[in-house]
Structure 1
Amino acid sequence: MAGRAALVTGSSRGLGLLIARELARRGCSVLLCARDEEELASAAEMLRGEAAPVTYLACDVTDKHAPQRLVAAAHEAFGGLDILVNNAGVIQVGPLSAMTEADFRDAMETMYFAPLRLVLAAVPALRERGDGRIVNISSIGGRVAAPHLLPYVGAKFAAAGLSEGLRAELAAEGISVTTVLPGLMRTGSHTAARFSGRPSKEYAWFAVAAGLPGLSMDAERAARAVVRAAAQRRPELVLTPVAKAAVRLHGVAPATTTRVLTLGARLLPAAGEAPRRNVPGRVAARGAHSTALHRLTRLNDRAARRFNQQPS
């Protein structure tokens, strides 16, 4: 991987930041991309001193001009582009009755159409280098539709399908495509997710699930696995034992999987009489504060601080 140029979207924090760091440690020049310039500057500072140069460009990947700007920035900084990692995403948590069509469109724009546009813009550059690699970060939610995450899982299903189709079509051009299906990871994303319905109750179950050892995975291990899969040009990577088991169960017994999910949905909070919408995790956490919750989310809270998830 040494000497290659990489672009990683959603790389100011969390998994994207860790993937960028791992690429830099392997000798890749890395272009970071996210919406918030201050967070990007902080992320670039965290990666300073790694084995290869790191630069950044603040932009919204859903902007129709963003793909051309990013590919041009990679050419200007590194002379070309070898690796594209589509990682940018948004997590919306809550029951269907608290969601609107706008939530679904936001998810699709961020996690399906934005990666699609970026791939279309990047393919000529990747083809020119002769050994291009695309990594699309989908989710276990792109194979098994977990309740209270419908905008997210709908977009991730679409992204997974796109990614598999791209691998088949681009292989003849020397471009490999790796689809990554992570399960829960301790990235600190619970602080940046948006919660609807009864936000504090939704935050409580999501934060606990995302931080429990055994159910969730260490994010640094996940980032190493993602970069290793890209280096090996693997077609697919499923992360966490629970995610692997869920994919296999869904494959051999889809009706049983749906029944399990139905039972799980009944245990989750109802929207309530006056549902709230899109409350940031940091705000939802204030109403869910308890000693027990703090203990159960300690590892994920620590990850939020380490991986640039906390606000400036």
Structure 2
Amino acid sequence: MAYASSGRLGGGALVTGASRGLGLLIARELAKRGCGVMLCARNADELAAAKRMLRDEGAEVRSLACDITDEGVAGNLVRATEEAFGSLDVLVNNAGMIQVGPLAAMTEDDFRDAMETMYFAPLRLVLAALPGMRERGHGRIVTISSVGGRIAAPHLLPYVGAKFASAGLSEGLRAELAAEGVSVTTVFPGLMRTGSHTAARFSGRADREYAWFAAAAGLPVLSMDAERAARAIVRAAERRRPELVLTPVAKAAVRLHGLAPATTTRALSLAARLLPDSGAEPERNVPGRHAARSLGSAALDRLTALNDRAARRLNQRTG
């Protein structure tokens, strides 16, 4: 069944990290609102599967497999989108990486990789997209940060550091570009059931790190249905909202941190003490799928059932 435009969005859209999870769902929602969508991701096989999925649903999509951390890629992506759809009207900086583990198990390269993926690559894409948006006098930029870009959770330091930076960039861009007709929306999602626990990388005691992260990411009370999150994100971009915080738990945490930062920090310090140490010989960057097999816990499998189903539905298990 072909998608029909609502008339409020349209033109060309570029979504990074669009082969799976939240990026795939955002691409679908943009297509439903009349956009032609350029999908971008590193893994060519996952990207081809995502494109087939959306085309079978009637979406107008193209794709380009690339690593957005390569410096020359941003201009190529913007040009490809403009050539395919006539213009680039919506840029969604969604691509990310999740590295889980204690600071003692992390290296400087982990922090650099996170910053390249979630700060510098989005910056380059914005700089490449802005000339066309300015010339047309309109455009929408969406930055997918995280509640971790407001509250620095332990055992996620490369991730939260990069998300803090991307949030600051996004909010500053909104202030500078508002007079030029370009709106910038910063999104702070809490935990969502996207199946990301299967693709995250775990260091230290990898199986124990996987256990707490996967359980939290899949619990209905703590996490949000990913389809509903994608609809809310695209609706916020459509309405040119400055900011969107997703999940009741994330909203409550952000408000508490704003009102009582010292209390929030003490709670996070307590949580850090309850999390696994790095171990005598820390493991490095173990994929979630491997950590799950190593752990082999039937009880955890039951806790992650909703998120495991999301992983299969959202192209997270094609590797």
For this structure pair, what is the TM-score category when the shorter chain's length is used for normalisation?
over 0.9
What's 2:158 paired with?
151
**TM-score computed with the length of structure 2 as normaliser:** 0.96
What's 1:296 paired with?
303
Q: Does 1:107 align with 2:114?
A: yes
Letter of the 1:7 partner, please give it: L
Aligned ranges for residues 224-303 of structure 1 at < 5 Å? 224-303=231-310
> Distance between the aligned counterparts of 1:92 and 1:153, measured in 2?
10
Q: Does 1:30 align with 2:42?
A: no
Give RMSD over aligned pairs.
0.9
Look up the SS of the partner of 2:34 in the other structure: coil
Gaps of at least 5 residues in structure 1 are none
Determine if contact 1:59/1:66 at 8 Å carries over to the other structure. Answer: yes
Aligned ranges for residues 93-172 of structure 1 at < 5 Å? 93-172=100-179
Determine if contact 1:82/1:129 at 8 Å carries over to the other structure. Answer: no
What's 2:95 paired with?
88
Number of residue-to-residue matches in the alignment: 312
The CA deviation at 1:52 is 4.1
The CA deviation at 1:50 is 4.0
Letter of the 1:246 partner, please give it: A
The CA deviation at 1:311 is 2.6
Letter of the 1:287 partner, please give it: S
The CA deviation at 1:290 is 1.4
The CA deviation at 1:128 is 2.5
Determine if contact 1:178/1:237 at 8 Å carries over to the other structure. Answer: yes
Q: Does 1:220 align with 2:233?
A: no
Determine if contact 2:203/2:209 at 8 Å carries over to the other structure. Answer: yes
Look up the SS of the partner of 1:147 in the other structure: coil
Determine if contact 1:138/1:159 at 8 Å carries over to the other structure. Answer: yes
The CA deviation at 1:49 is 4.0
What's 2:3 paired with?
none
Determine if contact 1:24/1:50 at 8 Å carries over to the other structure. Answer: no
> Distance between the aligned counterparts of 2:12 and 2:270, measured in 1?
46
Determine if contact 1:196/1:276 at 8 Å carries over to the other structure. Answer: yes
> Distance between the aligned counterparts of 1:98 and 1:50, measured in 2?
43
Determine if contact 1:25/1:50 at 8 Å carries over to the other structure. Answer: no
Determine if contact 2:192/2:218 at 8 Å carries over to the other structure. Answer: yes
What's 1:19 paired with?
26
What's 1:10 paired with?
17
The CA deviation at 1:254 is 0.3
> Distance between the aligned counterparts of 1:291 and 1:281, measured in 2?
16
State which of 59, 77, 82 in structure 2 corresponds to 1:75. 82
Determine if contact 2:9/2:238 at 8 Å carries over to the other structure. Answer: no
Letter of the 1:307 partner, please give it: L
Q: Say if 1:52 and 1:302 are closer, same or farther in 2 by CA, change over 3 A.
A: closer
Look up the SS of the partner of 1:106 in the other structure: helix
Over the matched positions of the two proteins, sequence identity in percent amounts to 77
> Distance between the aligned counterparts of 2:186 and 2:39, measured in 1?
20
Aligned ranges for residues 180-195 of structure 1 at < 5 Å? 180-195=187-202
